[in-house]
Structure 1
């Protein structure tokens, strides 16, 4: 049906030739001889070309005819042949290939390499070559270059590699994702957001030199048509301080960051890429990919010039650049995708019991109980310089808060253990100066961490008592961590206690212990040491002598004006300490109570109390003493 309609149009055209309207952009010479070209369908990226645009026919680089397109099938144009009487070529050469160009007035852009479909009709030439006094019919089409954009949930850093077609603003570019769009920021932190009724656009016009932070509720892919790619070389003004720059190159393989910035490297302080990796001049480079955006800090105003060499018609397409290398198996950062105004941690040392952490082990960075960054040791083991990006909280609880304390944890894969880690040092990546362990956006720090075995418990004391010894010690200053199971912390350190070389108790977690059921006046040797899942401490030792037991009177023999007293030590009394005794007499006279210490530091088991009043009643009690102290009084 379509071919019949085209034929009807072209029959009419064959009878009546339209001269068209003089073109403004394409310039040509009318020489007197021509080939008649009938225009069928003319499309731009699948849609009919709008009226007012120009179509030119070319022999190589020479325009030999043109019309202002009226938007209808059936329009004609004439391709003028060369006038051999002139010294310069002013028309087509018989038998040369026919080509077309389009001029889009709205964007002041010329498109070459137009696709041509020759229409088959009796008597019409379909050779694709110029012939005087011949007639041909063509359908013309051109597909605008486009950029495929893949945005993940949460934050993204994006830029354009094409000049958007009939779109002026960042908000319009993002029209396909409006249903998922939360925020857009530019480098001045101007904001696009939904105010409840309409989009509040604080950014306005799209700038090809700038990159943009874009936050989506859910990830989405879309395509942006362009009037053309952004031509190279391309200059980007980079101002002192932080910038979000575009990277509008076309090669999907990207370019090394050190190559891109080589001419202005002396002014570069640091660069963050889309996944939070940090580049410092002279350091390991990452690859910059087209369509991404980059955070660049410079020490002075400079001009960055981008350039690349590509085959004609090559345009940037998707790459593997969206896959983050910082996802881990155990630790799960609260953010995903692109970190928002990141802080990079360059891990130069990470040890477990003084040895490097191993393949499969993980390092997590925490703000309180919130994981804001993570890293897994790859196969082959840990290498100094591993980077861990963290993301700042954008107000939705999805990252660190500036000024909060930085803490580290380690997941030990072969022990399935999550545990705190010590920060041994933290220095600024640029100056090398020590910095406090607090979060600061758009910065980088070198950091050394360690998970260490507990140090030897300090202040160990063994104190003898009545048939018991009380032990106390201080918590080790090193290795005093928490272990986490499902986010619930428990103390990492345990203690073992030995008495006289034999294990008394283990898996013990208090800082004091009472060893009871012991013999009296007996010396005991104690050892305490700490241990955790990481390793063991050294031993701390102390000794204690138990108190003597309460002496027991074996006989009291009253005599004339005297009483003879005898006693024995309590059962289970050892001979490790020298025992002496103190004795007291109690009596009453005329309603008054009296007492008197008869002897102290006495070393015998018998004592005679003399010069007593006859017919008086006396009461006696005794207690024992050794180097540790006194027993209780006898009853």
Structure 2
């Protein structure tokens, strides 16, 4: 059986030279090919051809109608992963799209693998400034916070312009915010200490966050804490920063003749969001 690989992506990046794609029938590798150049979906000359051998009775190949499994060898990180997403192209009627082995058939495929992560975010009773380093599998805010809505622990979520996810008098919820945006922070109000789990893919850094004049709720999509002053230093250098605040009211601000810029926040922390006041529209790059 013949496979033509027209796209291959690992952790949001195209596979590189010396990475390898293999096809399995059960636990048996029945075909493999190493990349000698990166696959460019717009350039047919870069597509990777991979042939799978059929079992001739000695256990040396695929079993007819068995499920096709693709694995990726990441040469840079020296690890093997099973491809999570395989799209079978159907541009031509003779291309097989069943995802099963068939002698002499041809399948044209796009392969993707992105690791799914889970982030658990703790909330304290009252108001919390929230963001995440994950792009949720379903980014709808009412879906992400469904467990807190159902348990009546969530009181309200608000974005920087006043849109809300809030309960109705009849017991339902109205979501006027929509989906979580990777650059945004949100004000989350809860009735008691609780937590929410978010599943999805890691947000890629660096990330440019557009800022409007005045107050903005910004995300902090980092896996680790970072010195808050260092994060916003570029805004200070541009003479754009007015003030930064965390959910407790701690701030970064210019005390001028009483000591200049002072960091009362300490570190920005994963799971938290921050209020940033700037004098005019600009951008903050998070790394």
- Using the size of structure 2 for normalisation, the TM-score is 0.63
Deviation at 1:37, TM superposition (A): 2.6
Paired residue for 2:129, among 135, 157, 165? 157
Partner of 1:206: 180
SS at match of 2:235: helix
Q: Deviations over 1:506-529 (max 9, x none)?
A: xxxxxxxxxxxxxxxxxxxxxxxx
Question: Which residues in structure 2 correspond to 1:301-312 (within 5 Å)?
Answer: 301-307=281-287
* 1:283 has 2:262 as partner: yes
**Larger RCO (CA under 8 A, 6+ residues apart):** 2
Cα contact 1:211–1:293 (8 A) shared by 2:
yes
* Matched residue, 1:104: 85
Say if 2:70 and 2:82, in contact at 8 Å, map to a contact too: no
Distance 2:118 2:195 in 1: 13
| 1:170 to 1:35, Cα distance in 2 relative to 1, 3 A | closer
- Hey, what's the Cα distance between the residues in 2 that align with 1:98 and 1:239? 43
Shift of 1:284: 2.9
Work out which of the residue numbers 136, 142, 154 in structure 2 matches 1:181. 154
2:119 to 139, 144, 147: 147
Match of residue 45 from structure 2: none
Q: Give the match for residue 37 of structure 1.
A: 24
Distance 1:36 1:23, change over 3 A: closer
Per the alignment, residue 75 of structure 1 pairs with 67
1:526-573 per-residue CA deviation (whole Å, 9 max, x = no partner) reads xxxxxxxxxxxxxxxxxxxxxxxxxxxxxxxxxxxxxxxxxxxxxxxx
Q: Give the Cα–Cα distance (whole angstroms) in 2 for the partners of residues 61 and 99 of structure 1.
A: 18
* Residue 281 of structure 2 corresponds to residue 296 of structure 1: no
**1:182 match: secondary structure:** strand
Distance 2:81 2:33 in 1: 6
Cα–Cα, structure 1 residues 60 and 243, in superposed 2: closer, same or farther, change >3 Å? same
Matching of residues 511-550 of structure 1 within 5 Å: none
Distance (Å, rounded) in 1 between the aligned partners of 2:180 and 2:128: 17
CA distance in structure 1 between the partners assigned to 2:158 and 2:51 by the alignment: 45
The structure whose Rg is larger is 1
Q: Is the 8 A contact 2:4 2:49 kept in 1?
A: no
Q: How does 1:577-596 map to 2 (within 5 A)?
A: none
* Residue of 203, 209, 228 corresponding to 1:257: 228
Residue in 2 aligned with 1:268? 241
Q: Unmatched 5+ residue regions in structure 2?
A: 10-14, 16-20, 38-47, 53-64, 72-77, 88-112, 255-260
Pair 168,142 (structure 1): closer, same or farther in 2 beyond 3 Å: closer
User: Which runs of 5 or more residues in structure 1 are unaligned?
Assistant: 1-18, 29-33, 41-55, 68-72, 80-96, 107-140, 308-635
Corresponding position of 1:235: 208
Q: Aligned partners of 2:193 and 2:175: how far apart in 1?
A: 21
CA–CA separation in structure 2 for the residues paired with 1:294 and 1:78 = 42
1:224 Cα deviation after fit: 0.9
* Residues 15-30 of structure 1 aligned to structure 2 (within 5 Å): 19=1, 22-26=4-8
Contact 2:2 2:49 in 1 (8 A): no
Equivalences for 1:427-506 in 2 at 5 Å? none
Superposition RMSD in Å: 3.5
Q: What is the TM-score when the length of structure 1 is the normalising length?
A: 0.30
Tell me which moved more, 145-154 or 185-194: 145-154
C-alpha deviation, 1:171, in angstroms:
1.6
Indicate if the aligned counterparts of 2:217 and 2:274 stay in contact, CA closer than 8 A: yes
3-state secondary structure, aligned to 1:26: strand
Q: How far did residue 222 of structure 1 move? A: 2.8
Name the counterpart of 2:191: 217
How far residue 264 of structure 1 moved from its aligned partner, in angstroms, is: 1.4
